[in-house]
A and B are shown apart, each in its own frame.
Chain A
Amino acid sequence: MANDILVFAEVRDGTFKRISAEMISAAKELAKKTGGGVAVAVVGNGVDAVAGEAASYPVDKVYTVKSPNLDTYSTQGYAQALLAVIAEADPAIVLFGATAMGKDLSSRTAAATGAALMTDCTEIDFDDGTLKATRPVYSGKVYAHVEASKEGLKMASIRPNIFPAAEKSGNSAASTDVSVNIDAASIKAKVLEVVASTTGRKDVTEAEIVVSGGRSLKSEENFKILEDLADAIGASVGASRAAVDAGYQPHSRQVGQTGKVVNPKLYIAVGISGAIQHLVGMRTSKVIVAINKDASAPIFQYADYGIDGDLFEVVPILTEEFKKLLGTA
């Protein structure tokens, strides 16, 4: 129906990612305004269980596309599958998480359908008959207000941790298989292997709490004190570019303009000065804590709570306090 909202479900390793539950929340908000329902597209191979899981959220419909050639993500394979769902479901709006997969797929399918696309939105609304979004631009120095300016299909990707994840409601929404012949030869870029990072933690973009360290940690070994802090509160570990350039942490953990943009509910910056290129990667975090021994460090201008002190003294004590509170000792 042309006023429904379709959520592209991100599935990795057979799991329905949290971001997709967040997109269901966003879709429910939008559907109230468009007067339509919420549908979910599940694409992959052997995804019956995930499709069943998707149907247990408070949604109206689940569409599945299954093929051995969709076993791993590929832009062209998944685009063909999603285009077939769009043709069948005829939604007004398609939502994606602003993740590696969501950003990749949304622009390819928007180009294929001529849809209006807004990426990496932090606010979204449907008003006056059109889709409106707010998105940080110029590396997060200002917000741009963007509107769809033509009729027809609209698409948006929304940054993680903006909407709360929808809760399963014990629903069992109707499920429809959309059959598409995905030809292996039409997929020009194929995943041979997925190499998980060795850190064993959630990616900084997906974590609800991020603890980041700067050059002041002085060595890779010293990051152990941040790892301990992170363990105590279930956080991921990030780093400034200076710490990454010095080889203390891998680039996959770098937060900032040439690293990752994070949006956790709590960001703890430890021994980080707060250069603009770092700030743009974390300043939409809900609560920011800074620990720095220089009371005039710029990071304090962006923090909610500040500790003027030596990280090597403060962090171990803080870890113990967290353990006491949360019983994670």
Chain B
Amino acid sequence: MKIGVMVKNVPDTESKIKLSADRKSIEMQGVKFVMNTYDEFAVEEALQLKEKLGADTTVTVFSLGPERLVETLRTALAMGADAAVHLTDPAFEGGDSIANAKVLAKAAEAEGFDLILGGKQGIDFDSAQTLSAVAEFLGMGQAQVVTDIEVGGDNTSLKVRRRIEGGDEIVDVTLPAIISCEKGLNEPRYASLPGIMKAKKKEIKKLGLSELGLSADEVGAAGSGTQVVGYSPLKERPPVKMLEGGPAEQAKELVRLLREEAKVL
């Protein structure tokens, strides 16, 4: 089975997000970038499938973005991925998720994957859009927010469990398809020391606009339907009102305030 994994390089969850003075951008100095949390589940699942299905299964990771994401590709290689592709070109800059999906789809198309895995959402822009768009561009089936994958039908289909409001859907997926991974699917491994050493020697292929046969007006900011025009900080909450007295008085007062002041009951 040929497996592709889409991984995104995002600010660590602990990072402080600081706005520039004009609030047009976010200050990225000092921010630590890591592999998107949900993409770790995708890499891990691909590696487990490779272990299960045997040697002719390959895992190729893709990432689109600036030079710093090479670290994330190295991490995936160190975990055990076979090959890594960095999609990079000045023309890709400023793309929204659908413009980025065009590039990712083009890169994946040439490889003829049976299965493409990625995360349920990027914890940077929280869009959860990219992979459905890739699936549409490749004409593949898709299942999002998946917590369990079983391979069936001579490796031609999957039975997956995907999370929806108030329950789960059990979905039969014909390959080739795209699956987005949710927490609970597996426990991502740490890269081993030999893995890290081996990853250092692996080549990371770079592909740009011309290699992919795309034109500059369909990707990046030019190819995007949306544009971020600015940012604003969260609204400050008024200071907390601490309730006085023993448990009985506190409880009574809270109920009164929720009804009379906050008007939520």
Q: Which residue of chain A lies nearest to B144 when distances are taken between CB atoms in the complex?
A: A104
Whether A251 contacts B141 by the Cβ 8 Å rule is: no
Residues of chain B within 8 A of A112, CB atoms compared: 136
Interface residues on B, range: 35 or more
Tell whether B53 is near chain A: CB-to-CB under 8 Å.
Answer: no
Whether B141 contacts A187 by the Cβ 8 Å rule is: yes
- Name the residue in A103, A106, A188, A325 with the highest tally of chain B Cβ atoms < 10 Å from its Cβ: A188
Known: A194-B169, A307-B243. Is A314-B250 also a contact (CB below 8 A)?
yes
Whether B232 contacts A142 by the Cβ 8 Å rule is: yes
Interfacial residues of chain A within 68-127, with CB under 8 A of chain B in the complex: 72-73, 75-76, 79, 99-101, 103-104, 106-108, 110-112, 114-120
Tell whether A66 is near chain B: CB-to-CB under 8 Å.
Answer: no
Residues of chain A within 8 A of B128, CB atoms compared: 103, 107, 119-120
Residues of chain B within 8 A of A209, CB atoms compared: 264
Q: Which residue of chain A lies nearest to B164 when distances are taken between CB atoms in the complex?
A: A100
Tell whether B237 is near chain A: CB-to-CB under 8 Å.
Answer: yes
Tell whether A7 is near chain B: CB-to-CB under 8 Å.
Answer: no
Residues of chain A within 8 A of B172, CB atoms compared: 189-192
User: Bound state CA distance, A265 and B224, in angstroms?
Assistant: 35
Whether A99 contacts B226 by the Cβ 8 Å rule is: no
Whether A325 contacts B255 by the Cβ 8 Å rule is: yes
Whether A301 contacts B240 by the Cβ 8 Å rule is: yes
User: Bound state CA distance, A322 and B256, in angstroms?
Assistant: 10
Count A interface residues, CB 8 Å: 95
Q: Which residue of chain B lies nearest to A202 when distances are taken between CB atoms in the complex?
A: B166
User: Bound state CA distance, A141 and B262, in angstroms?
Assistant: 24
Whether A314 contacts B124 by the Cβ 8 Å rule is: no
Which of A118, A140, A202 is the one whose CB lies under 8 Å from B226?
A118
User: Bound state CA distance, A196 and B242, in angstroms?
Assistant: 39
Known: A190-B172, A301-B240. Is A141-B142 also a contact (CB below 8 A)?
no
Residues of chain A within 8 A of B264, CB atoms compared: 209, 265-266, 286-287
Q: Which residue of chain B lies nearest to A193 when distances are taken between CB atoms in the complex?
A: B170
Tell whether B247 is near chain A: CB-to-CB under 8 Å.
Answer: yes
Tell whether B51 is near chain A: CB-to-CB under 8 Å.
Answer: no
Known: A120-B126, A258-B183. Is A317-B226 also a contact (CB below 8 A)?
no
The number of inter-chain residue pairs (CB within 8 angstroms) is 262
Whether A283 contacts B174 by the Cβ 8 Å rule is: no
User: Bound state CA distance, A73 and B129, in angstroms?
Assistant: 18
CB distance from B237 to the nearest CB of A (A): 6
Whether B167 contacts A307 by the Cβ 8 Å rule is: no
Interfacial residues of chain B within 124-158, with CB under 8 A of chain A in the complex: 124-133, 135-137, 140-145, 147
Known: A100-B165, A119-B129, A137-B126. Is A276-B231 also a contact (CB below 8 A)?
no
Residues of chain A within 8 A of B159, CB atoms compared: 192
Residues of chain A within 8 A of B259, CB atoms compared: 325
User: Bound state CA distance, A301 and B242, in angstroms?
Assistant: 11
| Main DSSP-derived SS at the B contact region | mixed
Interfacial residues of chain A within 297-329, with CB under 8 A of chain B in the complex: 300-310, 313-314, 317-318, 320-322, 325-326
User: Bound state CA distance, A194 and B147, in angstroms?
Assistant: 14
Interfacial residues of chain A within 111-155, with CB under 8 A of chain B in the complex: 111-112, 114-120, 134-150, 152, 154
User: Bound state CA distance, A326 and B258, in angstroms?
Assistant: 12
CB distance from B133 to the nearest CB of A (A): 4
CB distance from B99 to the nearest CB of A (A): 10
| Main DSSP-derived SS at the A contact region | mixed
Tell whether B184 is near chain A: CB-to-CB under 8 Å.
Answer: yes
User: Bound state CA distance, A253 and B16, in angstroms?
Assistant: 27
User: Bound state CA distance, A108 and B105, in angstroms?
Assistant: 13
Tell whether A290 is near chain B: CB-to-CB under 8 Å.
Answer: yes
Which of A119, A259, A300, A325 is the one whose CB lies under 8 Å from B242?
A300
Which of B167, B174, B240 is the one whose CB lies under 8 Å from A290?
B240
User: Bound state CA distance, A259 and B13, in angstroms?
Assistant: 14
Whether B170 contacts A196 by the Cβ 8 Å rule is: no
Tell whether A67 is near chain B: CB-to-CB under 8 Å.
Answer: no
Tell whether A257 is near chain B: CB-to-CB under 8 Å.
Answer: yes
Which of A114, A190, A205, A251 is the one whose CB lies under 8 Å from B165?
A205
Tell whether B43 is near chain A: CB-to-CB under 8 Å.
Answer: no
User: Bound state CA distance, A199 and B251, in angstroms?
Assistant: 27
Whether A108 contacts B232 by the Cβ 8 Å rule is: no
Residues of chain B within 8 A of A206, CB atoms compared: 165-166
Tell whether B17 is near chain A: CB-to-CB under 8 Å.
Answer: yes
Binding site for B on A (CB under 8 A): 72-73, 75-76, 79, 99-101, 103-104, 106-108, 110-112, 114-120, 134-150, 152, 154, 187-197, 202-203, 205-206, 209, 233, 251-252, 257-259, 265-266, 276-277, 283, 286-290, 295, 300-310, 313-314, 317-318, 320-322, 325-326
| Given A147-B226, A289-B258, 15 new contacts (CB under 8 A) | A107-B132, A108-B132, A111-B101, A115-B225, A116-B224, A140-B234, A142-B19, A145-B230, A146-B226, A189-B174, A195-B169, A302-B240, A304-B237, A305-B240, A321-B255
**What are 14 A-B contacts defined by CB distance under 8 Å?**
A75-B135, A107-B127, A116-B224, A117-B226, A140-B234, A142-B19, A142-B26, A143-B234, A144-B125, A188-B173, A266-B258, A289-B254, A302-B237, A322-B265
Binding site for A on B (CB under 8 A): 11, 13-14, 16-17, 19, 26, 37, 96-98, 101, 123-133, 135-137, 140-145, 147, 159, 161-174, 177, 183-184, 224-234, 237-238, 240-243, 247-248, 250-252, 254-255, 257-259, 262, 264-265
